[in-house]
Amino acid sequence: FAEADGTIKAIDGLKVTIQKTDGTSVEQTVLPGADLVVTVGEEVRKDEPITTNPNVGGFGQAEKEVILQDMNRVCAFCALSFSIFLSQLSFVLKKKQFEKVQLAEGF
């Protein structure tokens, strides 16, 4: 997010220079991994986002996988997965049974 109101004066790698309306400059460092959405000469307001997602970037913040840390969550996930598997299996078996009945009746 922009630290001050003003105009973007320079973008140098991960450093963005904002010139305030009173003439002073503020240099702001952007975290690595985030893409800038501002260009030189653009007007920004304080706390306006200047990157695509300011929460992405830095060490160890890549989206990878869900980590189940509580044993109760692991058991609940296993129970849910098993119940979904059983319901899908029963649907498949019922469909096969229905197809056999149709074949026997000659439809």
Tens of pLDDT, residue by residue over 32-82, are 777 888 889 999 998 888 887 655 555 555 566 666 678 898 899 999 999
| Spatial distance between the Cα atoms of 67 and 103, rounded to a whole number of angstroms | 48
Predicted confidence at residue 79, as pLDDT, reads 97
Note the pTM of the prediction, 2 decimals: 0.48
| Spatial distance between the Cα atoms of 107 and 98, rounded to a whole number of angstroms | 11
| Spatial distance between the Cα atoms of 107 and 104, rounded to a whole number of angstroms | 8
Predicted confidence at residue 58, as pLDDT, reads 54
Q: Do the beta carbons of residue 33 and residue 60 sit within 8 Å?
A: no
Q: Mind giving me the DSSP string for 23-85?
A: S-EEEEEPPTTPPB---TT-EE-TT---BS-TTS-STT---------SHHHHHHHHHHHHHHH
